Amino acid sequence: MTEPGSGDASRIPAASRRQAESWSLVLAADGIAHRVFAEQGRWCVELPPAERARAEAAIADWERERAERAAAPAPEPAPDVVTHSGVWLALALLGFHAWTGPWDDASPWFARGAANSRLIVGGELWRTVTALTLHSDVTHALGNAFSCAVFGGLLLRRYGVGVGAVLLLLSGALGNWLTAEWQRAHYVSVGASTALFGAIGALAATELVRRRRLHLRWGKSWLPLAGGIGLLAMLGTGRGSDLTAHVMGLASGAALGAVVAQRLVRPPGPLAQAALVSLAALAVALSWGLALRHYPG
Protein backbone atom coordinates (compact mmCIF):
# COMPACT_ATOMS: atom_id res chain seq x y z
CA MET A 1 0.00 0.00 0.00
CA THR A 2 2.86 2.38 0.75
CA GLU A 3 5.65 3.81 -1.25
CA PRO A 4 8.65 5.78 -0.02
CA GLY A 5 8.36 9.52 0.18
CA SER A 6 11.01 12.18 0.23
CA GLY A 7 13.18 12.54 3.32
CA ASP A 8 11.91 10.89 6.49
CA ALA A 9 8.25 10.51 5.41
CA SER A 10 6.25 7.60 3.96
CA ARG A 11 3.38 8.06 1.55
CA ILE A 12 0.20 6.08 1.07
CA PRO A 13 -1.14 6.76 -2.44
CA ALA A 14 -4.90 7.24 -2.79
CA ALA A 15 -7.06 6.65 -5.84
CA SER A 16 -8.77 10.03 -5.47
CA ARG A 17 -8.97 13.13 -3.36
CA ARG A 18 -12.13 11.82 -1.71
CA GLN A 19 -10.39 8.61 -0.67
CA ALA A 20 -7.38 10.50 0.68
CA GLU A 21 -9.61 12.79 2.73
CA SER A 22 -11.58 9.81 4.07
CA TRP A 23 -8.35 8.13 5.14
CA SER A 24 -7.30 11.39 6.76
CA LEU A 25 -10.40 11.31 8.97
CA VAL A 26 -9.61 7.72 9.97
CA LEU A 27 -6.02 8.57 10.85
CA ALA A 28 -7.02 11.71 12.72
CA ALA A 29 -9.46 9.67 14.82
CA ASP A 30 -6.59 7.35 15.77
CA GLY A 31 -4.30 10.27 16.58
CA ILE A 32 -1.84 9.52 13.76
CA ALA A 33 0.05 12.57 12.49
CA HIS A 34 -0.18 12.95 8.71
CA ARG A 35 -0.92 15.33 5.86
CA VAL A 36 -2.84 15.05 2.62
CA PHE A 37 -1.45 16.52 -0.58
CA ALA A 38 -1.36 16.07 -4.35
CA GLU A 39 1.76 15.66 -6.44
CA GLN A 40 1.61 15.48 -10.21
CA GLY A 41 -2.11 14.81 -10.04
CA ARG A 42 -1.77 11.95 -7.55
CA TRP A 43 -3.26 12.25 -4.08
CA CYS A 44 -1.30 10.90 -1.13
CA VAL A 45 -1.34 10.69 2.63
CA GLU A 46 2.11 11.39 4.05
CA LEU A 47 3.11 10.33 7.56
CA PRO A 48 6.18 9.39 9.65
CA PRO A 49 7.60 5.93 8.80
CA ALA A 50 7.16 4.85 12.43
CA GLU A 51 3.39 5.31 12.09
CA ARG A 52 3.08 3.50 8.76
CA ALA A 53 2.08 0.07 10.12
CA ARG A 54 -0.54 1.52 12.46
CA ALA A 55 -1.90 3.75 9.71
CA GLU A 56 -2.18 0.86 7.26
CA ALA A 57 -4.00 -1.26 9.84
CA ALA A 58 -6.46 1.55 10.65
CA ILE A 59 -7.18 2.18 6.97
CA ALA A 60 -7.56 -1.55 6.26
CA ASP A 61 -10.06 -1.91 9.13
CA TRP A 62 -12.05 1.07 7.88
CA GLU A 63 -12.10 -0.19 4.30
CA ARG A 64 -13.25 -3.63 5.45
CA GLU A 65 -16.08 -2.18 7.54
CA ARG A 66 -17.13 0.04 4.64
CA ALA A 67 -17.22 -2.95 2.30
CA GLU A 68 -19.29 -4.97 4.79
CA ARG A 69 -21.79 -2.14 5.17
CA ALA A 70 -22.08 -1.79 1.40
CA ALA A 71 -22.64 -5.54 0.96
CA ALA A 72 -25.22 -5.82 3.75
CA PRO A 73 -28.89 -5.73 2.68
CA ALA A 74 -30.77 -2.56 3.46
CA PRO A 75 -32.51 -2.95 6.84
CA GLU A 76 -36.27 -3.05 6.90
CA PRO A 77 -37.84 0.00 8.53
CA ALA A 78 -39.23 -0.54 12.00
CA PRO A 79 -42.91 -1.55 11.87
CA ASP A 80 -45.40 1.28 12.32
CA VAL A 81 -48.98 0.17 13.01
CA VAL A 82 -51.44 2.94 12.26
CA THR A 83 -53.47 3.36 15.44
CA HIS A 84 -54.70 6.09 17.77
CA SER A 85 -55.11 3.67 20.67
CA GLY A 86 -52.62 5.60 22.79
CA VAL A 87 -54.99 8.57 22.79
CA TRP A 88 -58.00 6.37 23.57
CA LEU A 89 -56.12 4.76 26.44
CA ALA A 90 -55.23 8.21 27.78
CA LEU A 91 -58.91 9.21 27.64
CA ALA A 92 -59.82 6.00 29.46
CA LEU A 93 -57.42 6.93 32.28
CA LEU A 94 -59.03 10.36 32.57
CA GLY A 95 -62.53 8.86 32.47
CA PHE A 96 -61.71 6.38 35.21
CA HIS A 97 -60.24 9.16 37.36
CA ALA A 98 -63.47 11.16 36.90
CA TRP A 99 -65.34 8.09 38.20
CA THR A 100 -63.09 7.31 41.19
CA GLY A 101 -62.29 10.90 42.14
CA PRO A 102 -59.11 12.09 43.90
CA TRP A 103 -57.27 10.17 46.58
CA ASP A 104 -59.46 9.46 49.59
CA ASP A 105 -58.49 6.84 52.18
CA ALA A 106 -62.19 6.13 52.79
CA SER A 107 -62.83 5.40 49.11
CA PRO A 108 -63.10 1.68 48.25
CA TRP A 109 -61.21 2.36 45.03
CA PHE A 110 -58.12 3.57 46.86
CA ALA A 111 -58.49 1.43 49.97
CA ARG A 112 -58.50 -1.76 47.90
CA GLY A 113 -56.72 -0.67 44.72
CA ALA A 114 -53.66 1.35 45.75
CA ALA A 115 -50.20 -0.25 45.58
CA ASN A 116 -49.62 -0.88 49.28
CA SER A 117 -46.27 -2.65 49.49
CA ARG A 118 -47.01 -4.45 52.75
CA LEU A 119 -50.27 -5.86 51.40
CA ILE A 120 -48.81 -6.74 47.99
CA VAL A 121 -46.03 -8.72 49.65
CA GLY A 122 -48.73 -10.29 51.82
CA GLY A 123 -50.52 -11.68 48.77
CA GLU A 124 -52.82 -8.96 47.42
CA LEU A 125 -51.19 -9.06 44.00
CA TRP A 126 -54.17 -7.49 42.24
CA ARG A 127 -52.97 -4.14 43.60
CA THR A 128 -50.02 -4.20 41.18
CA VAL A 129 -52.60 -3.84 38.38
CA THR A 130 -55.37 -1.76 39.97
CA ALA A 131 -52.93 0.90 41.17
CA LEU A 132 -52.03 1.64 37.53
CA THR A 133 -55.57 2.90 36.91
CA LEU A 134 -55.80 5.24 39.94
CA HIS A 135 -54.50 8.81 40.26
CA SER A 136 -54.23 11.07 43.26
CA ASP A 137 -55.63 14.23 41.63
CA VAL A 138 -56.47 15.83 38.30
CA THR A 139 -52.92 17.07 37.69
CA HIS A 140 -51.54 13.59 38.28
CA ALA A 141 -54.12 12.07 35.91
CA LEU A 142 -53.55 14.67 33.19
CA GLY A 143 -49.76 14.22 33.29
CA ASN A 144 -49.99 10.45 32.98
CA ALA A 145 -52.66 10.67 30.30
CA PHE A 146 -50.39 12.88 28.20
CA SER A 147 -47.45 10.52 28.70
CA CYS A 148 -49.71 7.61 27.81
CA ALA A 149 -50.73 9.25 24.54
CA VAL A 150 -47.04 9.83 23.68
CA PHE A 151 -45.03 6.85 24.99
CA GLY A 152 -47.88 4.36 25.20
CA GLY A 153 -48.91 5.39 21.72
CA LEU A 154 -45.40 4.77 20.38
CA LEU A 155 -45.33 1.28 21.90
CA LEU A 156 -48.77 0.43 20.48
CA ARG A 157 -47.68 1.66 17.05
CA ARG A 158 -44.52 -0.44 17.19
CA TYR A 159 -46.10 -3.76 18.24
CA GLY A 160 -49.79 -3.30 17.59
CA VAL A 161 -52.57 -2.66 20.08
CA GLY A 162 -52.65 -6.15 21.58
CA VAL A 163 -48.95 -6.77 22.12
CA GLY A 164 -48.44 -3.16 23.20
CA ALA A 165 -51.28 -3.32 25.75
CA VAL A 166 -49.93 -6.54 27.27
CA LEU A 167 -46.42 -5.06 27.45
CA LEU A 168 -47.75 -1.93 29.16
CA LEU A 169 -49.76 -3.90 31.68
CA LEU A 170 -47.06 -6.47 32.45
CA SER A 171 -44.27 -3.93 32.80
CA GLY A 172 -46.41 -1.75 35.08
CA ALA A 173 -47.55 -4.67 37.24
CA LEU A 174 -44.05 -6.13 37.44
CA GLY A 175 -42.64 -2.71 38.28
CA ASN A 176 -45.16 -2.29 41.11
CA TRP A 177 -44.40 -5.76 42.45
CA LEU A 178 -40.64 -5.15 42.40
CA THR A 179 -41.17 -1.80 44.13
CA ALA A 180 -43.23 -3.50 46.85
CA GLU A 181 -40.55 -6.15 47.34
CA TRP A 182 -37.89 -3.43 47.51
CA GLN A 183 -39.77 -1.16 49.92
CA ARG A 184 -41.37 -3.81 52.15
CA ALA A 185 -42.32 -1.15 54.74
CA HIS A 186 -45.57 0.85 54.71
CA TYR A 187 -45.49 2.36 51.24
CA VAL A 188 -48.57 3.29 49.19
CA SER A 189 -48.69 4.68 45.67
CA VAL A 190 -50.99 5.00 42.66
CA GLY A 191 -50.59 6.01 39.03
CA ALA A 192 -49.93 4.72 35.53
CA SER A 193 -46.41 6.16 35.39
CA THR A 194 -44.82 2.82 36.31
CA ALA A 195 -46.34 1.31 33.15
CA LEU A 196 -45.42 4.37 31.09
CA PHE A 197 -41.77 4.11 32.09
CA GLY A 198 -42.19 0.45 31.22
CA ALA A 199 -43.18 1.59 27.72
CA ILE A 200 -40.04 3.72 27.51
CA GLY A 201 -37.91 0.78 28.61
CA ALA A 202 -39.60 -1.58 26.13
CA LEU A 203 -39.10 0.86 23.25
CA ALA A 204 -35.43 1.35 24.16
CA ALA A 205 -34.81 -2.40 24.39
CA THR A 206 -36.60 -2.97 21.09
CA GLU A 207 -34.36 -0.47 19.33
CA LEU A 208 -31.28 -1.99 20.95
CA VAL A 209 -32.24 -5.45 19.62
CA ARG A 210 -32.89 -3.98 16.17
CA ARG A 211 -29.48 -2.31 16.13
CA ARG A 212 -27.79 -5.54 17.16
CA ARG A 213 -29.50 -7.27 14.24
CA LEU A 214 -27.83 -4.68 12.00
CA HIS A 215 -24.48 -5.55 13.62
CA LEU A 216 -23.85 -2.01 14.77
CA ARG A 217 -21.06 -1.44 17.25
CA TRP A 218 -21.99 -1.84 20.90
CA GLY A 219 -21.34 1.84 21.50
CA LYS A 220 -24.09 2.77 19.05
CA SER A 221 -26.36 -0.12 20.01
CA TRP A 222 -26.64 0.98 23.64
CA LEU A 223 -27.68 4.54 22.78
CA PRO A 224 -31.46 3.79 23.00
CA LEU A 225 -31.11 2.55 26.59
CA ALA A 226 -29.06 5.62 27.41
CA GLY A 227 -31.91 7.69 25.99
CA GLY A 228 -34.39 5.82 28.19
CA ILE A 229 -32.31 6.54 31.27
CA GLY A 230 -32.11 10.17 30.17
CA LEU A 231 -35.92 10.35 29.99
CA LEU A 232 -36.07 8.81 33.45
CA ALA A 233 -33.76 11.54 34.73
CA MET A 234 -35.85 14.29 33.09
CA LEU A 235 -39.36 13.02 33.73
CA GLY A 236 -39.14 10.61 36.64
CA THR A 237 -37.09 12.34 39.29
CA GLY A 238 -39.04 15.53 39.92
CA ARG A 239 -40.39 16.65 43.24
CA GLY A 240 -43.03 14.21 44.47
CA SER A 241 -42.11 11.59 41.86
CA ASP A 242 -42.03 7.93 42.83
CA LEU A 243 -38.47 7.29 41.68
CA THR A 244 -38.31 3.67 42.84
CA ALA A 245 -41.45 2.72 40.91
CA HIS A 246 -40.22 4.59 37.83
CA VAL A 247 -36.87 2.80 37.89
CA MET A 248 -38.56 -0.57 38.39
CA GLY A 249 -41.01 0.16 35.59
CA LEU A 250 -38.21 1.15 33.22
CA ALA A 251 -36.21 -1.97 34.08
CA SER A 252 -39.26 -4.24 33.75
CA GLY A 253 -40.19 -2.75 30.40
CA ALA A 254 -36.63 -3.08 29.11
CA ALA A 255 -36.45 -6.75 30.14
CA LEU A 256 -39.85 -7.64 28.67
CA GLY A 257 -39.23 -5.54 25.56
CA ALA A 258 -35.93 -7.29 24.88
CA VAL A 259 -37.62 -10.71 25.08
CA VAL A 260 -40.49 -9.68 22.78
CA ALA A 261 -38.18 -7.94 20.30
CA GLN A 262 -36.09 -11.10 19.98
CA ARG A 263 -39.17 -13.12 19.01
CA LEU A 264 -41.33 -10.61 17.14
CA VAL A 265 -39.65 -8.93 14.21
CA ARG A 266 -43.05 -7.80 12.95
CA PRO A 267 -46.36 -7.41 14.85
CA PRO A 268 -48.80 -10.34 14.74
CA GLY A 269 -52.05 -10.20 12.77
CA PRO A 270 -55.40 -8.65 13.73
CA LEU A 271 -56.85 -11.77 15.36
CA ALA A 272 -53.88 -12.21 17.69
CA GLN A 273 -53.91 -8.49 18.52
CA ALA A 274 -57.63 -8.60 19.35
CA ALA A 275 -57.11 -11.64 21.58
CA LEU A 276 -54.28 -9.94 23.45
CA VAL A 277 -56.27 -6.72 23.93
CA SER A 278 -59.11 -8.79 25.38
CA LEU A 279 -56.66 -10.59 27.66
CA ALA A 280 -55.25 -7.31 28.97
CA ALA A 281 -58.72 -5.86 29.56
CA LEU A 282 -59.82 -9.06 31.30
CA ALA A 283 -56.77 -8.92 33.59
CA VAL A 284 -57.67 -5.37 34.67
CA ALA A 285 -61.33 -6.30 35.19
CA LEU A 286 -60.48 -9.41 37.21
CA SER A 287 -57.99 -7.46 39.33
CA TRP A 288 -60.64 -4.89 40.20
CA GLY A 289 -63.15 -7.68 40.84
CA LEU A 290 -60.81 -9.22 43.39
CA ALA A 291 -60.07 -5.83 44.94
CA LEU A 292 -63.68 -4.78 45.44
CA ARG A 293 -64.80 -8.23 46.59
CA HIS A 294 -62.34 -8.01 49.48
CA TYR A 295 -63.48 -4.50 50.49
CA PRO A 296 -65.09 -4.84 53.93
CA GLY A 297 -67.47 -1.91 53.57
Asked if residue 244 and residue 107 are part of one domain, the reply reads yes
| CA 183, 184, 189, 191 torsion-angle sign | positive
pLDDT of 238 reads: 47
Looking at the structure, tell me whether residues 40 and 92 fall in a common domain: no
Does 33 lie in the same domain as 133?
no
CATH number of domain containing 35: 3.30.70
Inside any domain, residue 78: no
Q: Does residue 77 lie within any of the structural domains?
A: no
Residues 187 and 247 in one domain: yes
CA distance 157 to 117: 33
Distance (Å) of CA 63 to CA 23, 37, 162, 181, 225: 9, 20, 44, 52, 29
- What domain count does the chain have? 2
> Which pLDDT score is estimated for 6?
47
On whether both 256 and 113 belong to a single domain, the answer is yes
**What is the residue-level pLDDT of the chain in tens, covering all 297 positions?**
544 444 567 888 888 888 888 888 888 888 888 888 888 888 889 889 988 999 899 999 888 888 877 665 555 556 667 788 889 999 999 999 999 999 888 888 999 999 999 999 999 999 999 999 999 999 989 988 988 898 898 899 889 999 999 999 999 999 999 999 998 777 888 989 899 889 988 988 888 887 777 665 555 545 555 555 655 555 544 455 677 888 899 899 999 999 998 888 788 899 999 999 999 999 999 999 999 886 655
Whether residue 89 sits in one domain with residue 29: no
Is residue 76, in this structure, part of any structural domain at all? no
Same domain, 61 and 126: no
Domain match, 136 and 35 both: no
For the chain, the maximum distance between any two Cα atoms, rounded to a whole number of angstroms, is 96
- Both 184 and 284 in one domain: the answer is yes
* 107 lies in the same domain as 181: yes
Same domain, 50 and 160: no
Q: Burial code of 171-182, b = ≥16 C-beta within 10 A, e = fewer?
A: bbbbbbbbbbee
Domain that holds residue 7: 3-71
CATH number at residue 281: 1.20.1540.10
- Closest to 133 in 3D by CA, of 83, 189, 199: 189
Domain boundary among 22, 40, 71: 71
If DSSP codes are grouped into helix, strand and coil, which group holds residue 162? helix
Same domain (yes/no): 108, 202 = yes
- Please list, in sequence order, all residues whose beta carbon lies within 8 angstroms of the beta carbon of residue 71, skipping any fewer than 6 positions away: none
Whether 222 is covered by a domain: the verdict is yes
The model's pTM is: 0.69
Is 79 a domain residue? no
